[in-house]
Amino acid sequence: MQILSEISNGIAGIAERVGPSVVRVEARRHAPGSGIVWAADGTIVTADHVIEQEDEIRVGLPDGQLVAATLVGRDPGTDIAVLRAQASGLTAPSWSGGDQTKVGQLVVAVTRPGRTVRARLGIISAAGEAWRAPTGGEFDRYLETDVTPGIGFSGGALVDAGGAVLGMNTAGLLRRAAITVPVPTLRKVAGALLTHGKIRRGYLGIGAHPVRLPATLEQQVGQRVGLIVVSVESGSPAERGGLVLGDVIVAVDGTPVRSHDDVASQLTSEKIGTSLRFRLLRGGAAKELSVTVAER
184 vs 166: CA distance, rounded Å: 9
Helices (H), the chain: 2-18, 183-196, 215-221, 237-241, 260-264
266 vs 276: CA distance, rounded Å: 9
Helix (H), strand (E) at residue 85? strand 80-85
Cβ neighbours of residue 93 closer than 8 Å, sequence gap 6 or more: 18, 21, 36, 37, 157, 159, 164, 165
Which entry of 79, 140, 160, 247 is annotated as an active-site residue? 79
- Asked if 247 is an active-site residue, the reply is no
- Asked if 79 is an active-site residue, the reply is yes
Which entry of 21, 34, 49, 96 is annotated as an active-site residue? 49
For residue 178, give the nearest of 198, 197, 156, 200 by alpha carbon.
156
Cβ neighbours of residue 216 closer than 8 Å, sequence gap 6 or more: none
Which entry of 96, 154, 160, 247 is annotated as an active-site residue? 154
- Asked if 49 is an active-site residue, the reply is yes
Give the residue numbers marked as catalytic: 49, 79, 154
